[in-house]
Structure 1
Amino acid sequence: MSAILAEKKHLFSCWDRLKGQIRDKIIILFLDFDGTLAPIVEKTGLAALPEETRKVLEKLSRSPCFRIAVVSGRMLADLKQKMNIPHITYVGNHGYEIEGPDINFRGLIPPSMNEAMGFIRENLNGKLASIPGVHIEDKGITLSLHYRSADPENFKLIKRIFNNTCKPYLKNNQITVKSGKMVFEIRPPVVWDKGKAVLWLLNKWKRVLGGDNVFPVCIGDDVTDEDAFKVLKGKGVTVRVGQERDTAAEYYLGNQEEINQLLSLFLESAA
């Protein structure tokens, strides 16, 4: 375990103190999907929300003490289909698509972005076709290159092909690039990410519900969740799922399987 992570505390060991912080508050739960609500799987299309987790989330969504936003890199339509829970807010494509009660947001994408994405997708498909285990996911606004199922011996080659393909578009400010868990993301060249989306939603809920009554809790497992952890520092509670690396989160959970216990604790706190 890294020195920085060793200084973090497991959330369950601090639960009694946290209960005092959230007493009489409306809890805003910002939850990642893959690796947080749902176990990580090799083929992203097979990821599924466990039934036990679904039941707890449905109860939380019906409680006046909670608001729920699922914040994911998945395309909005895909995320909604995977979750299929009404009365919650869905944040897809790392914040470029947001939909929920009284919310319908789509990020502004420069026209040149669509053309660039088309060329990049075709080039990557052609150059990576001979490497097994690589999957290019076109999410409309963003493009993801997944290599979780590839042979580790090919990781450097995959990264080199990706970087060389994207380089001219990055130079011309037509795209931005980020990396996650066994994935490279190509995004629009605008200053927007999970952190910006989370802060936008939090401020919106503060205006509606009263700033002093709102307490945000953000839980995620990926590099892309770090943007949300950073913007919420000092504003609420941030939780990293897993212990693999340094994180801006204040607390951690040992693994994805602990999420049900944590959600149940939140539900009990409102009883």
Structure 2
Amino acid sequence: MAKYLFENLELINEFKNDKNTAIITDIDGTISEIALTPGEAIVKADMKQAIVNLKEKFKLVGVISGRSVLNAQEMLGIEGILYVGNHGMEYIFEGEYFIVPEVKEYLSQIKQCCGQLNEELSNIPGILFEDKGICHSIHYRQCNNPEMVRSQIIKSIKNSSNSKNLQISEGRKLVELKPPSSYDKGTIINKIIEDYDLNKIIYLGDDITDVDAFRRLNELQNDQIIRSASVMVISKEIPTYIKNSASFFVLNIKEVLKLFRWLLD
């Protein structure tokens, strides 16, 4: 059962007081408010400044997003942090770009499938298609009957001849098409821990895809490989089981900023 973080801060003092701690966070819904469209979302100046200050204090600061890695980098514009995009399938650190090789062969297939879906579904008022380079998202937040549209999107994907072998996942009011890669936020968090020789990590997220990271961190902690604190930013859009996959929860993005400032104090 996840605990409310600000009633249990003493449990993460060890992270605050160790400069070798890593701070890894999702973007949308965690350090940026969910917006009607992805392009309208922003990371506010006070949050950016807190992240800059965290970078100066701790061993590693990074963001892991469902957005493309270039879009994530553009949103924050902070040098010297790790940027991971498309749920771990690509990342940038110190100017170097990496993409998981196994996904490349599926990029044209995903583009073809989404082109077909666009033709079938674009007449639905409020639907939005987002091309993220590797993955493609179909947003239905602005649709009049979101759950009905969600079902229609999933049905169209499954009926598409171009969707064979592709992964279908879901997030907050979106359906996403992905290459059939083993990479997810749990896989990339494991790679980050190995690559940067981390032994303490705080991870923050707000969505279904963050559960992979929460679960992997729990496994590594149970195996006494690392010490971790996973923090879920709760919302009405997220089922209770996702909240309880984290160690702690906070109520909103303002409390994420409050946590960052507490870590810096």
Superposition TM-score, scaled by structure 2 size: 0.89
Seq. identity, %: 26
List runs of 5+ in structure 2 lacking aligned partners: none
Aligned partners of 1:120, 1:267: CA distance in 2, in Å? 46
Return the match for 1:219 from 184, 204, 208.
Answer: 204
Which stretch of the first structure deviates more once superposed, 13-22 or 23-32?
A: 13-22
List runs of 5+ in structure 1 lacking aligned partners: 1-6
**Aligned residue number for residue 148 of structure 2:** 156
Aligned partners of 1:11, 1:190: CA distance in 2, in Å? 33
SS in 2 for 1:136: strand
Return the match for 1:191 from 145, 160, 182.
Answer: 182
**Aligned residue number for residue 2 of structure 2:** 8
Matches within 5 A, 1:79-94: 79-94=72-87
**Aligned residue number for residue 256 of structure 1:** 253
Instruction: Kindly indicate whether residue 36 of structure 2 is the aligned counterpart of residue 36 of structure 1.
Output: no
Aligned partners of 1:161, 1:40: CA distance in 2, in Å? 21
**Aligned residue number for residue 132 of structure 1:** 125
Aligned partners of 1:111, 1:75: CA distance in 2, in Å? 14
- Report the residue type matching 1:225 in the other structure: D
TM-superposition CA deviations, 1:111-153 (whole Å, max 9, x none): 551332122111111111211111111111111011111112x
2:141·2:173 contact (CA, 8 Å) conserved in 1? yes
Aligned partners of 2:136, 2:253: CA distance in 1, in Å? 26
Q: Following TM superposition, by how much is the alpha carbon of 1:67 offset from its aligned partner in structure 2, in angstroms?
A: 1.0
Aligned partners of 1:54, 1:25: CA distance in 2, in Å? 20
2:33·2:42 contact (CA, 8 Å) conserved in 1? yes
Matches within 5 A, 1:1-271: 7-20=1-14, 22-63=16-57, 65-101=58-94, 104-110=97-103, 112-152=105-145, 154-167=146-159, 172-173=164-165, 175-206=166-197, 214-233=199-218, 234=221, 235=226, 236-242=228-234, 244=236, 245-247=240-242, 248-268=245-265
Q: Following TM superposition, by how much is the alpha carbon of 1:243 offset from its aligned partner in structure 2, in angstroms?
A: 5.0
The alignment's C-alpha RMSD in Å is 2.0
- Report the residue type matching 2:151 in the other structure: K
Aligned partners of 1:59, 1:108: CA distance in 2, in Å? 34
Aligned partners of 1:55, 1:111: CA distance in 2, in Å? 35
Against the structure 1 CA distance between its residues 25 and 59, is the aligned structure 2 distance closer, same or farther, given a 3 Å change threshold? closer
Superposition TM-score, scaled by structure 1 size: 0.87
SS in 2 for 1:246: helix
**Aligned residue number for residue 4 of structure 1:** none
